[in-house]
């Protein structure tokens, strides 16, 4: 019996239900993944007991000799994996990584260009309620109305007009490869610094199948838990000259003690991402997304930008007469987890937009391939075309549960760690 089970059965039951949900359903949230068992063990290890404010060799607490080894390993591997001059592995999340870079690169009130949230950007790229939008003067750029690709003519025009101190590249819901050199060219022309937030596609950069922002950008931020497949957290890569300011603005600028158990998980993640097996995984993520996109389009669904180059597709569900909220609920009833999402030039509201976002990183980790993607694409189309047919949803749910038994989750939470 697990200690949690005997000590806190109510909590244990919720954890078990979540473990079953992860095993029996299809996790297609583009920002989610399944970590390895080793990472799960690190995240649940004794390292959670240690305070270690400061940086390796320069701590404000005693007893840090072993966590110094852990953090130094994570730093060395992050730099090696991405070919970066310098790194900070302490941000608790992607949002805090971005916050620290903003504090390092900007003064309050400075002008920044970021991708419009409604066209694929992230909350931390200038949303009014986020600290980014509250402290800085963010101006949004967008995508082209016809092909839904980043509109670099508009970006250049806005940059010349507003003379930003920083340009933020990167996105949460953009199904195409991001050409970083175009951002760099525009940033250089107007004398702006460049931050690339590669949170979504960092794993594809690590696998060397996505354009690499590290040689070009002044700062690169990422989460470690999306395509990269590590523990939940953030990472900053930068030029050596920017490291002192970055470090100061992570700790003490935005955080206190680092999460050493998570940093250990990051070290394992960076090690895993340097392997041939991981590179093959990255390619499979993209192949799977293409296969899913082709299946959905062949069934008549409209995809934003007409397809995908990366790990995600954005589906306009109004083509089958639904809103995103209902589509998410219908798929949930079948055991398929996605999230509703705004699509470019959406006529609907964020709480019931026109789209859903679907990503392949998690299912690819479970070993599913293009054959499974075709089946999944057909289930998605069938269920969305029959949103009231609960018997159909139940039958799809059964087929999915059966398929999932052949693709176990690598480290089932609450069952195999520790």
The binding site for (6S)-5,6,7,8-tetrahydrofolate comprises 117, 121-123
223 is catalytic: yes
Does residue number 95 form part of the binding site for ligand PLP (CB under 6 A)?
A: yes
Q: Which stretch binds ligand PLP (CB under 6 A): 1-9, 89-97, 144-152, 265-273?
A: 89-97
What minimum distance in Å lies between the beta carbon of 199 and ligand PLP? 4
Site string for ligand PLP, 45-64 (x = CB under 6 A): --------------------
Residues 63 and 229: their CA atoms lie apart, in Å, by 30
What minimum distance in Å lies between the beta carbon of 150 and ligand PLP? 14
> Is 178 or 400 the residue whose CB approaches ligand PLP more closely?
178
Does residue number 397 form part of the binding site for ligand PLP (CB under 6 A)?
A: no
Total binding residues toward ligand PLP, as defined by CB under 6 A: 14
145 is catalytic: no
CA 114, 117, 121, 127 torsion: positive or negative? Answer: positive
CA distances from 223 to 5, 6, 203, 237, 272 (A): 31, 34, 10, 11, 16
Name residues whose C-beta falls within 8 Å of residue 271's C-beta, 6 or more positions apart in sequence: 77
Binder among 170, 213, 355, 361 for ligand PLP (CB under 6 A) = 170
Catalytic residue among 51, 211, 332, 370: 51
Burial class (CB in 10 A: 0-12, 13-18, 19+), 297: middle
Name residues whose C-beta falls within 8 Å of residue 12's C-beta, 6 or more positions apart in sequence: 2, 4, 5, 414
Binder among 200, 266, 311, 381 for ligand PLP (CB under 6 A) = 200
Catalytic residue among 77, 226, 229, 366: 226
Residues 197 and 193: their CA atoms lie apart, in Å, by 13
Binder among 77, 122, 266, 311 for ligand PLP (CB under 6 A) = 122
3-state class (DSSP) for residue 304: helix
Q: Which stretch binds ligand PLP (CB under 6 A): 169-177, 246-254, 311-319, 349-357?
A: 169-177
Contact 70, 258 (CB under 8 A): no
226 is catalytic: yes
Catalytic residue among 221, 223, 224, 365: 223
Does residue number 199 form part of the binding site for ligand PLP (CB under 6 A)?
A: yes
Contact 267, 70 (CB under 8 A): yes
Q: Would you give the distance in Å from CA 204 to the centre of its chain?
A: 11
For residue 350, the number of C-alpha atoms closer than 13 Å in the C-beta half-sphere is 6
Tell which residue, 295, 306, 305, 312, has the closest CA to residue 360. Answer: 312
Q: Which stretch binds ligand PLP (CB under 6 A): 166-174, 279-287, 299-307, 353-361?
A: 166-174
Catalytic residue among 37, 79, 149, 232: 232
Q: Which residues are catalytic?
A: 51, 53, 197, 223, 226, 232
Residues forming contacts to ligand PLP in the complex (CB under 6 A) are 31, 93-95, 122, 124, 170-172, 197, 199-200, 223, 234
């Amino acid at each position: 019996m697990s200690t949690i089970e005997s000590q806190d059965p109510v909590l244990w039951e919720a954890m078990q239900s979540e473990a079953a949900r992860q095993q029996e359903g299809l996790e297609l949230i583009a920002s989610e993944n399944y970590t390895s068992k080793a990472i799960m063990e690190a995240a649940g290890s004794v390292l959670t007991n240690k305070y270690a404010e400061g940086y390796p060799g320069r701590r404000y607490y005693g007893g840090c000799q072993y966590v110094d080894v852990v953090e130094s390993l994570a730093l060395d591997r992050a730099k090696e994996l991405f070919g970066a001059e310098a790194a900070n592995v302490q941000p608790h999340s992607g949002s805090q990584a971005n916050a620290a870079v903003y504090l390092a690169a900007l003064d309050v009130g400075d002008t920044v260009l970021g991708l419009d949230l409604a066209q694929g950007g992230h909350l931390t790229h200038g949303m009014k309620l986020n600290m980014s939008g509250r402290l800085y003067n963010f101006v949004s750029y967008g995508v082209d109305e016809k092909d839904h690709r980043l509109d670099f003519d508009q970006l250049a025009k806005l940059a010349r007009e507003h003379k930003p101190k920083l340009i933020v590249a990167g996105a949460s819901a953009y199904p195409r490869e991001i050409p970083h050199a175009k951002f760099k060219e525009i940033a250089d022309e107007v004398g702006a610094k460049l931050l690339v937030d590669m949170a979504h596609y960092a794993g594809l950069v690590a696998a060397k199948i996505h354009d690499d922002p590290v040689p070009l950008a002044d700062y690169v931020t990422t989460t470690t838990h999306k395509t990269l497949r590590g523990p939940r957290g953030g990472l900053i890569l930068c030029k050596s000259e920017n490291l002192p300011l970055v470090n100061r603005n992570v700790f003490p600028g935005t955080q206190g003690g680092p999460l050493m158990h998570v940093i250990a998980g990051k070290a394992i993640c960076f090690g895993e991402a340097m392997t041939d097996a991981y590179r093959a995984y990255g390619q499979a993520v993209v192949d799977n997304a293409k296969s899913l996109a082709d299946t959905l389009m062949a069934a008549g669904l409209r995809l934003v930008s007409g397809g995908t180059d990366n790990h995600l597709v954005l589906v306009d569900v109004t083509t089958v007469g639904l809103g995103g909220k209902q589509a998410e609920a219908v798929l949930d009833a079948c055991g398929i987890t996605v999230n509703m999402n705004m699509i470019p030039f959406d006529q609907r509201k964020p709480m019931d937009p026109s789209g859903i976002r679907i990503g392949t990183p998690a299912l690819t980790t479970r070993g599913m391939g293009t054959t499974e993607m075709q089946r999944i694409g057909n289930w998605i189309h069938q269920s969305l075309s029959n949103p009231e047919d609960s018997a159909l949803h139940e039958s799809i749910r059964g087929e999915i549960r059966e398929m999932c038994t052949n693709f176990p989750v690598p480290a089932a939470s609450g069952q195999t760690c520790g």
